[in-house]
Structure 1
Amino acid sequence: MCGIWAVFGSEDDVSVQCHAVHKIGHRGPDAFRIENIQHFENCCLGFHRLSIVDDMLGMQPMRLYTHPQIWLIYNGEIYNHKQLDKDFKLNVSTNCDGEPMIHLYDKLRVEGPDAMAAQLDGVFAFCIMDTANRKVILGRDTYGVRPLFRVHTADNGFLGVCSEAKGLLGLSHGSKNGVEPFLPGHVEVYKLDLQGRATLESRTCFNSPGQIPKYRTLASPDSNNMKENIRTLFEAAVSKRLMADRRVGCMLSGGLDSSVVAALLVKQSKELGIKYPIQSFAVGMKNSPDLKAARKVAKHLGTEHHEKIFTAEEALEIIPEVIDKLESYDITTVRASVGMYLISKYIRNKTDTTVVLSGEGADELAQGYIYFHNAPSAEEANEESRRLLKDLYMYDVLRGDRTTAGHGLEIRVPFLDHQFTSYYLSLPAEDRQPKEGVEKFLLRSSFDDGKLLPRDILWRPKEAFSDGIASAEKSWFQIVQEHCDKKINDTELEEAIKKYPHNTPRTKEALFYRKTFEEKFPEKGHWIPYMWMPKWVSTDDPSARTLKHYKQSA
């Protein structure tokens, strides 16, 4: 995980503007660099580094002696960087996975930068500055796993780019104009004038959920057996994400998603001869369902298991800090982020693991949310799954990024592997629905060969993360609601519709989150287009435990 920041066409002295880059210093605690671009007095690139690959030569902004006119800053991992070097004869000079982006941008100049982005198997948010052609190119991966915000004011040509919105709000232009999330799967090209002012030339969608990869894949679904293909592609998705010079571990809740990831991580680390034991990390209140289930999985896999046990008081106290890091007030996102933020802090302070694999994306892709049992048809369930994946960058992907990056960690999410998701979504809609009263039936049955995990783990009923970290007797959402009832009075809630016409808070908990958000990010409520809620059910609360189909595991 790293932090990128850039401004172009600043009317103010960039030496003043560039102080804003330090607002994202938590993303890259290992090194920092900022560069004023020669002959572009109003342009500046900044970078906070978390060193994962090529400690010696991986610093940014990156330039190559073969392409001195091209500057690159990016946050992400390009898993097929070695394959790209071979296929396109790039003659790379470092082990840094991002270097091929510079070569490809130059080599595919006629096809365009969207053609370059479409060749990247990985997760990324990048900013390329081409000084010879006076261009700036921005791009972001298919699911927005790596964050990117930008502000562009057409009237004066100011362009600001940052991994998090807070790095742009302090700028004289950015604070007054529309700081917005950059759309996943898109590339934008800007033309710079002699003063470095930017004009948008083009915006292209180079990839979307379910679209087949254009790059050469590292594993292919060659079998006629779809379950075998699912196993093959997902094992490849995990294998790619072991690319690191730092220690790799995994989040472990004891549910299906994190358990499958952990099991494959342990299996492949042994096959690769990795010397250190895999560390697994669980979080919860004393005797929570997730802690119990995670211990069972960890014992089966033989991981070096760690637990962060927290109290209700500890969790409630950090909510404002979590909202600041998230840049969100969505109820589900905030609730689920508290536990993940606490375990990330523990990992940073108590261990030497820097890269953590996690199970985000499985519920959206494999229809794991309990409300999918109520889908009117297979096709409507398919449409809902694709919608969730399209918007994931504003909810669970955002949560995973901010809670880990907030403590200088890098999260990797194999369930959102581009190749794996495109294959899974190509399967018949009927096969991807819940079956026999069990969500993610196809995914579970694909690994039900007795080799990876015991059946009672593989078929453990769905437990939402924000619920599983609390006790069975009293859910986390109930603890938060009781806390917010004391913080917000009835009159405030009644008047909320006047103060917040967009996403009007309907509960005291929602209003508490919104007020806390507005203190940090005034008038930015539009960053969240809607509040995440289950579909096809009648409920006022997004917690899985409020739904009729919910069944707690033993």
Structure 2
Amino acid sequence: MCGIWATFGKDGGLSGTCIKCFSAIVHRGPDAWRIEQDAREPLAIFGFQRLAIVDGLHGMQPMRLHLYPRVSLICNGEIYNCERLRHQYNFKYETHCDVEAIIHCYKSFGISDTVKNLDGVFAFCLIDGEKRKIYIARDPYGVRPLFKLEDEDNGYMAICSEAKGLIGLKEKESKTSRLGQFPPGHLEEWDILEGGKVKRNYTEKYFTPGTPPHFTPFVAEEEISQMNIYEKTAHLLEAACKKRLMSDRRIGCLLSGGLDSSLITALVVKLAKLHKLPYKIQTFAIGMGDSPDLIAARTVAQYLGTDHHEVIFDENDVKRELDNVIYHLESYDITTIRASLPMYLLSKYIKENTDTTVVFSGEGADEVAQGYIYFRDAPDSKAAHEESLRLLSDIYLYDGLRADRTTSAFSLELRVPFLDIQFTNHYLSLEPSLRQPQNGVEKHLLRNSFAKSGLLPDEILFRHKEAFSDGVASVKKSLFKTIDEVIKERLPQTIEKYNGVQPNTTESKYYKYIFEKFFPGQSNFTPYYWMPKWVQVSDPSARFIKHYAAS
């Protein structure tokens, strides 16, 4: 996890405004930074905030190789098949940094095939000075963030890992100046014109959820061809964790005690022992007092023998950090903010109290494996499958965004095995009816894939689905109630009407009010409120769905 920042075609050079904007993402890369103006392209400025995960000595960016001196790369990502690509195409690497593979792929077979051949998560900007081209690309599910500021009339474009690094560059008087997320699974080519201005040439969508890998898969087909669907599911999820162990920094796991985080933790602990990592895996759980998540996570940690940490938070933490969470999220979505509060506080604890830098998490499982309670109300398996695809297409706006921003706020790198390309292709290609909830149990297929593995106790493997805010809340006082009390103290009597999705509750009005303070006029960052489908509810929480069984 790093922070990338660049501007192209903007007059004024490396100004104080540029430095201030670039500095807004320092939390993404506290180990080193570099900002430079390209002498050969006077209207091109590159910035990089580095969190060193692999190759601490040679991984600084912009990356330029002796073999291709006119190619510059800034990238926030991990390329899990970098070594496989090196052997497959006989690349001569100059560093031990995995993103170097991007430059070699580009020079060997062009940008379109490059992004399709990368098994990893990434957001990058590659500049070919010889061809006078700029290429921008983002990984298939948008695990790594990327924003783009574009002004067609003025021949200007800028990119950054987070919007807070661009908001100060936006020209308010320009009607063609647009700032928003660069979509996952897309790439763009830009021309560098005479004088340094830029013009977009084309945009390509190279991936849709469930697409099979274009690259050579991590697990060969012959290795799994004789397995049944349960064995194959378990094997591919374990492989997704295995490839993500790539790190020179300590690895830990976020552990709520629910199925998703518990499965990932169990697999990471198993692999850590097999690979003889020189430390015990640390696990991290958070809750208010006697929350169900804390109790369940404790059970998992004891079963797996991890170095377990419990973080207790209360209303004072909510009061102190609520506005900061909205700033880091760059969103005013209700359920995203609620779920981000505990994750933000947990990340803060990890940063301040441990040496863990890489954290595994269970994000993506609910989208891939139909884990949300409302999937029980799907009219048929086809509709349920289509909803999975929709959720995965937009995960970068909601759960994916939450996971990245809350961890990156404290310079942690997130790993999400459930969004592995080979795993999602396998799972989404299975008979749709098998992936639906069975007998009132969500993720039935996923649970049964590990039923005889001994990885987890049955009470965890078949634990009912909790609404996140209920899972972390104290039995005595809900997180809903705590947030409501904080907001009632702070929300002004009158607030102006903003563009975009209109809030209709006190809570949502407050979130929009704070968001507009930080990102005025950028309602497009949240195109709609996340809500369950097929059920009539006025709140996104699962607690309002009739099937909800948690106490």
Shorter-chain TM-score above 0.5 = yes
Unpaired runs of 5+ residues, structure 2, are: none
Q: Hey, what does 2:70 align to over in structure 1?
A: 69
What's the offset of the Cα at 1:148?
0.2
CA offsets 1:99-155 (integer angstroms, 9 cap, x no match):
01001111113xxx1210000000000000111111100000010000000111111
Q: Hey, what does 1:409 align to over in structure 2?
A: 412
Give 1:154-169 correspondences, 5 Å limit: 154-169=152-167
The change in CA–CA distance for 1:297 and 1:155 in structure 2 (over 3 A counts) is: same
Q: Please tell me the residue identity of whatever aligns with 2:203.
A: R
Conservation of the 8 A alpha-carbon contact between 2:77 and 2:121:
yes
Unpaired runs of 5+ residues, structure 1, are: none
| Residue of 311, 318, 323 corresponding to 1:320 | 323
Equivalent pairs counted in the alignment come to 545
| 2:234 is aligned with 1:231 | yes
| Residue of 350, 353, 367 corresponding to 2:353 | 350
Describe the SS at the equivalent of 2:74: strand
What's the offset of the Cα at 1:450?
4.3
Describe the SS at the equivalent of 1:179: strand
CA offsets 1:308-353 (integer angstroms, 9 cap, x no match):
1111221232110000000001000000000000000000000000
| 2:113 is aligned with 1:115 | yes
Conservation of the 8 A alpha-carbon contact between 1:6 and 1:160:
yes
Give 1:88-487 correspondences, 5 Å limit: 88-109=89-110, 113-171=111-169, 173=171, 177-219=177-219, 220=221, 221-487=224-490
Conservation of the 8 A alpha-carbon contact between 1:168 and 1:174:
no
Conservation of the 8 A alpha-carbon contact between 2:13 and 2:37:
no
CA distance in 2, matches of 1:409, 1:373: 35
CA distance in 2, matches of 1:388, 1:44: 35
CA distance in 1, matches of 2:490, 2:53: 42
What's the offset of the Cα at 1:89?
1.3
| Residue of 538, 541, 544 corresponding to 1:546 | 544
The change in CA–CA distance for 1:175 and 1:46 in structure 2 (over 3 A counts) is: farther
What's the offset of the Cα at 1:473?
4.1
What's the offset of the Cα at 1:50?
0.2
RMSD: 1.4
Conservation of the 8 A alpha-carbon contact between 2:148 and 2:179:
yes
Conservation of the 8 A alpha-carbon contact between 1:252 and 1:281:
yes
Conservation of the 8 A alpha-carbon contact between 2:370 and 2:443:
yes
CA distance in 2, matches of 1:30, 1:175: 37
Q: Please tell me the residue identity of whatever aligns with 1:105.
A: Y
Conservation of the 8 A alpha-carbon contact between 1:115 and 1:206:
no
CA offsets 1:489-513 (integer angstroms, 9 cap, x no match):
7x64xx87xx135211110000000
CA distance in 2, matches of 1:450, 1:281: 23
CA distance in 1, matches of 2:173, 2:462: 49
What's the offset of the Cα at 1:175?
8.8
Q: Please tell me the residue identity of whatever aligns with 2:281.
A: I
Q: Please tell me the residue identity of whatever aligns with 1:252.
A: L
CA offsets 1:401-431 (integer angstroms, 9 cap, x no match):
0000000000110000111001100001101
Conservation of the 8 A alpha-carbon contact between 1:255 and 1:290:
yes
Larger displacement relative to structure 2 (210-219 or 221-230): 221-230
TM-score by length of 1: 0.96
CA distance in 1, matches of 2:96, 2:473: 44
| Residue of 509, 514, 522 corresponding to 1:524 | 522
| 2:23 is aligned with 1:22 | yes
Conservation of the 8 A alpha-carbon contact between 2:264 and 2:362:
yes
CA distance in 1, matches of 2:447, 2:45: 49
Describe the SS at the equivalent of 1:510: helix
Identity %: 51
The change in CA–CA distance for 1:473 and 1:381 in structure 2 (over 3 A counts) is: farther
CA distance in 2, matches of 1:186, 1:174: 27
Conservation of the 8 A alpha-carbon contact between 1:14 and 1:43:
no
What's the offset of the Cα at 1:92?
1.1
Give 1:484-503 correspondences, 5 Å limit: 484-488=487-491, 492=494, 499-503=497-501
What's the offset of the Cα at 1:480?
1.4
Deviating above 4 A after TM superposition, structure 1's stretches of 4 or more consecutive aligned residues are none
CA distance in 1, matches of 2:58, 2:173: 35
CA distance in 1, matches of 2:470, 2:527: 24
CA distance in 2, matches of 1:374, 1:314: 36
CA distance in 1, matches of 2:488, 2:505: 9
Conservation of the 8 A alpha-carbon contact between 2:499 and 2:521:
no
| 2:500 is aligned with 1:512 | no
Q: Please tell me the residue identity of whatever aligns with 2:3.
A: G
Q: Please tell me the residue identity of whatever aligns with 1:180.
A: G
Conservation of the 8 A alpha-carbon contact between 2:359 and 2:414:
yes
CA distance in 2, matches of 1:479, 1:250: 27
Larger displacement relative to structure 2 (541-550 or 429-438): 541-550
The change in CA–CA distance for 1:174 and 1:80 in structure 2 (over 3 A counts) is: farther
